Each structure stands twice: as C-alpha cells, then as structure tokens.
Amino acid sequence: MTNIELFKKLLQFKSITPDDDGAFDFITQYLSNQWNCIELDFEDVKNRFYYKKFNNSKQHLCFAGHIDVVPAGEGWDTNPFDPIQKDGIITARGAQDMKSGVAAFLYACKNITQFDGMLSILLTSDEEGDAINGTVRVLEYLQKQNMLPDFAVVAEPTCEEIFGDAIKVGRRGSINGYLTLQGKQGHAAYPQKAINPIEQISTILPQISGKNLDDGDQYFAPSKLVITDIRSGMQVTNVTPDKLELMFNVRNSTKTSQKDIQILINKLFKDLDYSFKMTQGSYPFMTNQDSKIVRNITKSIVKNLNIQPQYSTAGGTSDARFFGQYKIDTVEFGVINDTIHSINERTTIDEVEKLTEIFIDLIQEF
Ligand SMILES: [Zn+2]
C-alpha cells in the first residue's frame, strides 16, 4: 500500500468525533504485530498508543495526531467521505486536518527499518471535541508507566502559503477572567446616595482594555487582555445599577501567568467591592529552538524542500499543548492549513508525498 493509498483509506472512515468508525482496527492491522499496541479507551473515546523499540538507546520519539474530524456540513461538491483525486488534489473531510499528517507518519514508521531508540505513535479520536479523554489521558497513563517520550511531532497542518514555510514550536495558552463589581443601586437624581459601578470601572477600563501584559518576543505576540463582555444597568435612565459584570480573555505566552493577572486586578480594584475568578482553558508552551527535535526537523525540511521554515506559535489550540505540559520537546509540522473545517477541504498529493519523505528523513537522521 502506498502512502497515498493509505491516506485515501483513512479519509474513507467517517470518524466524526468521537467515533473512529473502525479506523483504529485498520491502523492496528496496518502496523502489524511488529508494533505493540496499548488500547486506552475512556467513555466514548478511543485512543491507541503504538510503540516499537529498535535498539537499547534510551531516546524516544513520538508521532501524534487525531483520527477524528469535524462534521462535513452542507454544500460539498463531492462526497466528503469518498476522497476524490483530481489534478493532483484530494478533496475530503480530514484531508488537511489531519489525516494527511497521520498517513505520512504511519507510512514512515511502518516502512522504516532503523531508528536509534524507541518510536511511538499516539492517536486519539477526541481532539476536535472536548479533548478531555484523548491525548491528555494517554499522557497521564504513559507518565505512570514511565513511558513518556522525550520528543514529539504533532502532524497538524501548520504551513501558511507554501509547504514547508512554518513549523509550530509552541502555542499560546488561554485564560478567561470573570469580574463582578458590587455597587449600590439608587436614583439617578441622587448619585451621592448610590455607588455606581459604571463610574467606578470607567477610570480603570483604560488601564486594562487591550492592555499588553508582556511585550512578546520573536515567537509570541504580546499577551493582550481582551475584554469580551461588560453588562450592568436595567436599560433605564433613572436608576443607577447595583453591580457590573465584566469578562475578558488573554491568549497568554509563557511570559504571563494567571498570577500576573491576579496581581494587576488586585492593584487596580483594591479600594472597590469586587469578586474575581479565572479559568485557564489551556497552558502555553514553548520548545527551545536549540532542542534536537527543532534542529532536526528543520534540517529535514531544508533538505527536502529547500525552504527555511519560520518558527511560529500562532493559531488556536492543539493537542501539542498537552505534550508541552509534560515538558516534552514538541513541534508541529504538517501540510498547508487553508481549508480546514471548511467545505471541500482539500490538500495536494505533492504535499503528502513530501511530508512522508520529511518524516522518513527525520526518523533516519535522528
Ligand atoms: Zn487538527
């Protein structure tokens, strides 16, 4: 089976989160009993961890990805689960996000004969959903078994304009803030008898709205405090409100934490009657560019494509963040990302061929 045949086969599974639609049985068979398989199923989510030791070297490199896709939606020109190849382009749900990446590393891992250490493959059917029973649970298990990888490649689509132009070496985190300012309701004609939280917030707002909490660096944009909601009042002109509620979000780099935000809020609101809480949807991570995985994948990209990739941390979240939390040196590299989650999702045969070559080169040279 060629890598393109494998890619098309994966695209035929209607693996809408969290259903794998038989994809994992197929993959287990594809890898054959040369690979050990650990099945880690939680509730309706299936996960598979495959591994193979090539020699006694301690180094462990993991390829990771998700087999699940988002629903197809209406308006496709072709059947989204019947991959159509035309003029070097394959159209199907998951073509970019991310069965191209999964096909490339499965093919590379199966066909490689030598590696210095242990290779593994972590697959989940819960990335596009809540992502609470997927990669995060597998890594929890691997930590208990003392089997966490040293390095990981998550094959999400990362390239922007041309194939090879970007790898992700980190991701921003996401912090949500919820603040309630307590006042005292009153008549608009007697403001001295009331405490108006709108007046109170008005001098503070310029100090938080759109504020950069750090300066960013070459990899991260500044962590900006973005106010997403403010509400107060009763939509009348003669009553001042008794409270005001404000929400914000910060896409944070590794330079800004919840603690920094707490200190800022404490300082600005210290004389007021307020309550405040935060939740963190995901934590930021950053793999140093001197890490072996960053150096080696860059080398493989340059060698195969003659392009110097940019190191980026842009975009939303991916499962790479869970690897980052375990201090595993992680990069993301995959095909161009310009039709993910949209109708007529598509990628080129050329990109999948070259991605496969790059993964083979990476494994051989590691
Ligand atoms: Zn994805």
pLDDT digits (tens, 9 = 90+) for 302-356: 999 999 999 999 887 789 999 999 999 999 999 999 999 999 999 999 999 999 9
CATH code linked to domain 3-171+284-365: 3.40.630.10
Angle at 241 between CA 200 and CA 227, to 5 degrees: 55
The predicted model gives 66-74 an average pLDDT of: 96
CA 270 to centroid of chain Cα atoms: 36
* H/E run at residue 23: helix 23-31
**pLDDT for the residue 51:** 98
From the list 125, 173, 123, 119, the residue with the least C-alpha distance to 151 is 119
From the list 252, 205, 202, the residue with the least C-alpha distance to 224 is 252
Q: How far is the CA of 355 from the centre of ligand 1 (A)?
A: 16
Task: Decide whether 3-171+284-365 matches 173-282 in CATH topology.
Answer: no
Q: How far is the CA of 341 from the centre of ligand 1 (A)?
A: 9
Give Dmax (Cα) for the chain.
83
C-alpha 34/C-alpha 218 separation (Å) is 43
**pLDDT for the residue 314:** 86
Task: List pLDDT tens digits, range 167-187.
Answer: 999 999 999 999 999 999 999
**pLDDT for the residue 218:** 85
Asked whether the predicted pLDDT for residue 46 surpasses 90, the reply is: yes
Of all residues in the chain, what percent carry a pLDDT higher than 70? 100
C-alpha 11/C-alpha 6 separation (Å) is 9
0.75 exceeded by pTM:
yes
Q: How far is the CA of 64 from the centre of ligand 1 (A)?
A: 11
Residues, CB within 5 angstroms of ligand 1 (ion): 97-98, 156
* CATH class of the 173-282 domain in this structure: alpha beta
Domain ranges of the chain: 3-171+284-365, 173-282
Categorize the per-residue pLDDT at 269 as very low, low, confident or very high, splitting at 50, 70 and 90. Answer: very high
Catalytic positions are 68, 127
Q: How far is the CA of 127 from the centre of ligand 1 (A)?
A: 7
Strands 346-348 and 225-232: unpaired
